[in-house]
A and B are shown apart, each in its own frame.
Chain A
Amino acid sequence: MKQLLMSCVLLSALSLGAERLSAATSSDPEPTNAELLKEVKALAAKVNQLENKLAKYENQETVPPAGRRLRKTERMAESQASASDSVASNSDASSSAKTPLFGLGYRGNPARGVGSQSAESDSASSSDVTPTVKTPLFGLGYRSNAVLNIGAYGELKFGSQEAPGGWKDGFDAGRIVLLPTFQVTESIIFNAEIEFEHGGIADDEDDKLTGSVDIEQAYIDFKFNEHFNWRAPGVDVVPFGFINLFHEPTQFYSVQRPELDNGLIPTTWFEGSTSIYGKVVDNLNYQFQINTGLEDIGQNGGVPDGEYEAGISGEEALALARTPIGDFNQTKNAPGFALRLSYTPPFVPGLAGSTSVFYTSNVTPRGAHADAETGQPLGHSSVTMVDTEVRYRIPRTGFEFRGEFVDVFLGTPANLRANNDGNPENNVGDHMWGYSLELAYHFDLSKTFRNGWEIVPFYRYTYENLQTGGFSGTDENFPTGQGKRQFHTLGIAAFPTPQVVLKLDYQFALDDAPNSPRADHFLGGVGFFF
């Protein structure tokens, strides 16, 4: 830039001199020495004036505007510029780090950014840069706080499910999720997840088109250092297991989420919460969360005088026990605590896993009572959950193995609504548990064909027992056995790109209930995440 302006100065000076010279020539073919001296002085004055303008421009470019502190990144750019020798090999314009045209500064992905200019429209060529430019559009000084990023994921499903009375075909716009992210400053970052499930929402509950819209995540992170970061109170998923945190459809191969995440872990399990997280040492990370915990009521609006649905049961495990996130509608005071340690041991390349613990001292809602006939109030009961899961991709092969084990301990089952609701079939003991084992093989066809797909056949076995012994409470006790379930899931997932997946699977569902309807399914799905 400096060289460019110097060239302009010299060209202007020369052309000025030439004009004067030709004017002098036309009026007087032989100017006197005094006249020539005068011309030279005028020329010198003009050069001085242009040099002053150049100096002024350079000052304007390097000194920040009054009242504005340099941002950290800009300071870095400055120090970097001064620390480095600014000799360019390729072009004059690239020699100045003060008006960078590119580099770390351009953050927005033009395909996704909202409220940002595209790379093309932002990218001024060197000749477009004028002395009025104060803040560089590219380079270290430009940050992603100019851009609200909106990512998305979703899954659309179709196929047949076995039900009482035979197979039924159908379609489900399972979920479409928007993921806004905004970098408020370098260290304060907003994230959210806005989910439209089963096609959205209708006002009336009896509307046949009803679905739901959920804010599954909305929080602001304060990044302190790699060991300690704080997630301010907001809505966040509970750090428990793997799928509850990473539940985009490209993260698992079956059409439906793994069965353990459909009750034993009430995925997507999100709560009002605050947490801290970071790295303990290399390859070992932690997240500790305080949240609103679980509650033993399966319906909104608090405990009524009469009947109400249990939150924890031998049929649906914890699927209905998640606390609501709206309007102070939680029904108990005891907070929940969740700790997740995730690890990628370097001595076993390709292995990743996590262990999570959740505890709340009480899940019994205010006003909880046994069924209408007995009616006595129900006391407190704690819930403790433990999960361990591993994922192992054998390096340089297509083999992948996943395994998970979940335990749920119920402190005082006699105080749980399912054991006191007059229904003898949904009772729970003091323990629920389950595990799954999965084997997948990745055929990477891109090695053979350009733009080849990745094809992943897989098989998963799941066992869960929601009705172990130790029943107590006012109910009679006739567990149906359907809480003891096994699932064999066999299928194939095809990834045209890592962001898109097409799925097909067949699931054999078995339970111990002698006359229970079969619940197999044959489903296809389309998932995306970008």
Chain B
Amino acid sequence: MDDRLKWLVPAAFVLGSSTCCYSTTYLSVPQAQKECFSGADRFVQANIIFTPGQVKAIEAASGQKVFSRGQQVWKAMQKGQLIGYFILDYVIGKHLAIDYAVALSASGAVRQVEVLTYRESYGGEIRNADWRKQFVGKNARSRLSLNDDIRNISGATLSSRHVTEGVKRILATYEICLK
């Protein structure tokens, strides 16, 4: 085979595959809702628009800045009973947004954390189930501190840190706005 021609094969493969779909989104919102609350028969949207007082209280309780004017929240219902909250949020990884969702039980403990979209080049290990499992059972009184009750992933430090901070903020939001 001509020397130059052999380089065209991988190039053609890459360009060819670029015409098929590509995405950084791993779960849509309904898919994530189903992952978190498989028993739910209905998700009732229950968004929050923060008052200035709530913003201050969330920031004080979580130690995290609140950049959004509100929070997208769904109540997970099963046969008319509230079984938990599905809260959609994002944090910045190194530069780009990580879209994730926190599922809380009706009493405000973390049931599950799901990463919907991850855009950064490095640090995707936060999607691994064994890392996300550490959040299960945490509530607003948990410390939620990297290298303490949440393990850091070396090489994914910023993503690990910022998702941990995000979950802490979400738990404070529950405590102040939903409880």
Which residues of A are at the interface with B, using a C-beta cutoff of 8 A?
A: 72, 76, 79-80, 83-91, 93-95, 97, 100-104, 106-107, 109-110, 119, 123, 126, 138-139, 144, 149, 151, 179, 181, 183, 186-187, 189, 191, 221-226, 228-231, 242, 245-246, 251, 276-277, 279, 282-283, 285, 342, 344, 346, 349-350, 352, 354, 391, 393, 395-396, 442, 444, 446-447, 498
Q: Which of B71, B74, B95, B130 contacts A179 (CB 8 A)?
A: B95
Q: Which residues of B contact A119 (CB under 8 A)?
A: 67-69
Residue of B nearest to A442 (CB): B147
Nearest A-chain residue to B23, judged by Cβ:
A187
A346 near B18: Cβ-Cβ < 8 Å:
no
Known contacts A119-B69, A222-B22, A225-B22; A88 and B43 CB within 8 A of each other: no
Asked if A186 meets B24 with Cβ closer than 8 Å, knowing A89-B46, A90-B48, A110-B67, the reply is yes
Nearest Cβ on chain A to B76's Cβ, whole angstroms: 11
Complex: how many Å from CA A191 to CA B96? Answer: 11
Name the one of B29, B72, B92, B147 contacting A76, with C-beta atoms under 8 angstroms.
Answer: B29
Contact A104 B30 (CB under 8 A): no
The answer to the question of B106 belonging to the interface, with a C-beta cut-off of 8 Å to chain A, is: no
Query: Quick check: B161 and A80 within 8 Å, CB to CB?
Result: no
Please determine whether A94 and B49 come into contact, CB atoms closer than 8 angstroms: yes
Q: Which of B25, B49, B124 contacts A126 (CB 8 A)?
A: B49
Please state if B95 and A151 are interface contacts (CB–CB under 8 Å): yes
Contacts of A101 in B (CB 8 A): 49, 69-70
* Residues of A contacting B23 in the complex (Cβ-Cβ under 8 angstroms): 72, 186-187, 223-225
| A344 touching B153 in the complex, CB below 8 Å, given contacts A94-B70, A103-B68, A144-B97 | yes
Give complex CA distance A285, B124 in Å. Answer: 9
Query: With the chains together, A88 CA to B153 CA distance in Å?
Result: 38
**Cβ A84 vs Cβ B69 within 8 A:** no
Docked pose: A254 CA to B99 CA in angstroms? 34
Residues of B within 8 A of A (CB): 14, 17-18, 20, 22-26, 28-30, 42-49, 67-72, 74-75, 88-90, 92, 94-97, 99, 116-117, 119, 121-122, 124-125, 127-130, 145, 147-149, 151-155, 157, 161, 177
Chain A residues with CB under 8 A of B46: 87-90, 94
The reply to whether A103 and B72 contact each other, CB–CB distance below 8 Å, is: yes
Contacts of B153 in A (CB 8 A): 344, 352
Contact of A88 among B45, B92, B145 (CB under 8 A): B45
> Which 9 residue pairs of A and B lie closest in terms of their CB atoms, listed nearest first?
A94-B47, A181-B95, A102-B70, A352-B154, A224-B22, A103-B72, A102-B68, A89-B46, A123-B69
Given the contacts A107-B90, A151-B94, A242 and B18 also touching, CB distance less than 8 Å = no
Q: Which residues of B contact A107 (CB under 8 A)?
A: 90, 92, 96-97
Q: Are A104 and B95 in contact (CB under 8 A)?
A: no
Min CB gap B98→A, angstroms: 10
What residue of chain A has the Cβ atom nearest to residue B43's Cβ?
Answer: A84
| 6 additional contacts (CB under 8 A) given A89-B75, A187-B23 | A90-B48, A90-B49, A101-B69, A144-B96, A354-B155, A391-B154
Is A83 a contact partner of B90 (Cβ separation < 8 A)? no
- Residues of chain A lying within 8 A (CB to CB) of residue B128: 282-283, 344, 346
Given the complex, which residues of B lie within 8 Å of A88, measured CB to CB? 45-47
Task: Give the CA-CA distance A88 to B121 in the complex, in Å.
Answer: 37
**Closest B residue, CB atoms, query A143:** B97
B45, A97: Cβ atoms closer than 8 Å:
yes
Q: In the complex the two chains form, is B89's CB within 8 Å of A104's CB?
A: yes
* A109–B67 touching, CB < 8 Å: yes
7 contacts between A and B (CB under 8 A): A80-B28, A103-B90, A110-B67, A151-B95, A344-B125, A350-B152, A393-B154
Cβ contacts under 8 Å, A83 to chain B:
29-30, 43
Q: Could you tell me the distance between the alpha carbons of A144 and B90 in the complex, rounded to whole angstroms?
A: 12
- Residues on A with beta carbons closer than 8 Å to the beta carbon of B149: 396
- How far, in angstroms, from A138 to B22 measured CA to CA in the complex? 24
Residues of B within 8 A of A224 (CB): 17-18, 20, 22-23
B44: chain A residues within 8 A (beta carbon): 84-85, 87, 89
Assembly CA distance A246 to B155 (angstroms):
7
Nearest-Cβ distance from residue B127 to partner chain A, whole angstroms: 8
Evaluate contact between B90 and A79: CB separation under 8 angstroms.
no
A-side contacts of B75, CB under 8 Å: 89
How far apart sit A3 and B70, CA to CA, in the bound complex (Å)?
A: 20
State whether B69 touches A138 (Cβ < 8 A).
Answer: yes
CA distance A447 to B148 in the complex (A): 10
A95 to chain B, nearest CB (A): 7
Contact between A91 and B124, CB atoms less than 8 A apart: no
Shortest C-beta distance, B178 to chain A (Å), equals 9
For residue B68, which residue of chain A has the nearest CB?
A: A102
CB-CB under 8 A from B96, the residues of chain A are 107, 144, 149, 181, 183, 189
Q: Which residue on A lies nearest to B116, using beta carbons?
A: A104
Q: Which residues of B contact A181 (CB under 8 A)?
A: 94-96
Bound-state Cα–Cα, A90 to B17, Å: 46
Contacts of B71 in A (CB 8 A): 102-103
- Output the nearest chain B residue to A354 by Cβ-Cβ distance: B155
